[in-house]
Amino acid sequence: MKKIDKERLLLGIAAPVLALLAAFVVTSLVLLATGKQPFDAFQIMGSYGVKSDSQVYILNKATTYYLAGLAVAVGFRMNLFNIGVDGQYRLAAFAAAVVGGMVNLPGILELPLIIIVAMLVGAMWAGLAGLLKVGRGVSEVIATIMLNAIATAIISYLLQPGRLAHLDANTNSVHTTVLPKSGWFFTFTTNPAAGPIEGFIVVAALAGVAYWFVLSRTRFGFDLRTVGQSESAAQASGVNVKRMIVTSMLVSGACAGLVGMPTLLNESHQYATDFPAGIGFTGIAIALLGRNNPGGIAVGALLWAFLDRTSNWLEFNGYDKEIVGVMQGVIVLSVVVAYELVRRYGLGRQQRRVGEQLAAAARNTAKQEQEAAI
């Protein structure tokens, strides 16, 4: 049985604890500066967040956030900053909605078709940034930002009556053809009063397991982490760095293609002008919060969804809704700073320990030489 490294475990726990404490203190000071009582605000958030309907909302919202966090984390592990998840998932969801609305297959074929189309489009859009990076040396940050804008323009052009969308005369909204019932994902209900839990949470959980397995238990995952830590060392060991960059962007984009599926398959069943945007940027914060670990990303997604849920209730009770945005920003900054401080502390302790061991070995060697001379 592998012995648990208690010091490493304590350092791992210390970082998130310090981050949450720092976020609590800073948020409390902001609330006090606005003339509000921080403990009252936290009590309001806690009591509302544990209600059954709030729990369902948090789980459903966290499903989308989790997938966005995974998509960003794949790039982060490769030392790539895929800031284009937002454009990738919206273009993927639009294409999937169009294809799904054009056919009416049995559910066993319709649902996989929609999901596969979304993953392929997301992978293709992210792959363009990978090809630009390895082929022309274009930063993936610049490329993905530009591709976000292009994706928005493509959707705006095609989401018009007479092209790939229809005008609803009753609501005056523009949307793609509604998916057939065979293209609706399942839901399950534990409490009818709280509403249904979206079944895509199962897919999100499987995606998290796949992320962990591929990165931790496969050669591809080892190569990806190696390139992320040192491209020169990876290349010297025989890894094709350029191919890994393109492949990682394809995987990240495929995962990004899943981000819009909970909304499309469980909620709207069509792509309209009010389809949610900005989730890709939230995924960046959640990946940072979870330190690119599937379990940590899940906790970050749940925390983010909890804060989203309670923001409106805070406003209803006389608090500024923007205070939740302050909380989210402070939490992310606190996590980044806390992990860096703990990393440096752990590295310093390790270096001191190695120095002590080397000094002890030198003393033993000198002692043995003296004894041999006598």
Every domain of the chain and the residues it spans: 1-36+323-374, 54-318
In Å, how far from its chain's centre is CA 37? 32
Out of 3.30.70, 1.10.3470, 1.10.20, 2.30.30, select the CATH number for domain 54-318.
1.10.3470
As a whole number, the mean pLDDT across the chain is 91
Question: What is the average pLDDT across 172-177?
Answer: 93
| Residues 243-265 as b or e (16 or more Cβ within 10 Å = b) | ebbbbbbbbbbbbbbbbbbbbbb
Residue 45 has pLDDT above 80, yes or no: yes
Tens-digit pLDDT profile for residues 215-234: 999 999 999 999 988 888 89
Number of neighbouring beta carbons within 10 Å of residue 39: 9
Q: What is the pLDDT of residue 31?
A: 87
Question: What is the average pLDDT across 347-359?
Answer: 82
pLDDT category at 340 given cuts 50, 70, 90 is confident
Closest to 259 (Cα-Cα) out of 295, 220, 289, 286: 286
Beta strands, E only, the chain: 166-168, 173-175, 187-188, 197-198
To 10 degrees, what angle do helices 241-257 and 219-229 make? 110
Residue 170 has pLDDT above 60, yes or no: yes
Q: What is the pLDDT of residue 319?
A: 85
This prediction's pTM: 0.90
Among 37-41, 122-126, 256-260, 262-266, which is the least confidently predicted range? 37-41
**Coil vs helix vs strand at 179:** coil
Closest to 116 (Cα-Cα) out of 141, 99, 138, 133: 99
How far apart CA 346 and CA 350 sit, in angstroms, is 6
How far apart CA 211 and CA 209 sit, in angstroms, is 5
Query: What share of the chain has pLDDT > 70, as a percent?
Result: 97
14 or 246, higher pLDDT: 246
Q: What is the pLDDT of residue 1?
A: 45
How far apart CA 241 and CA 254 sit, in angstroms, is 20
Residue 157 has pLDDT above 80, yes or no: yes
pLDDT category at 18 given cuts 50, 70, 90 is confident
121 or 29, higher pLDDT: 121
Please, are residues 342 and 10 in contact by the beta-carbon 8 Å criterion? Answer: no
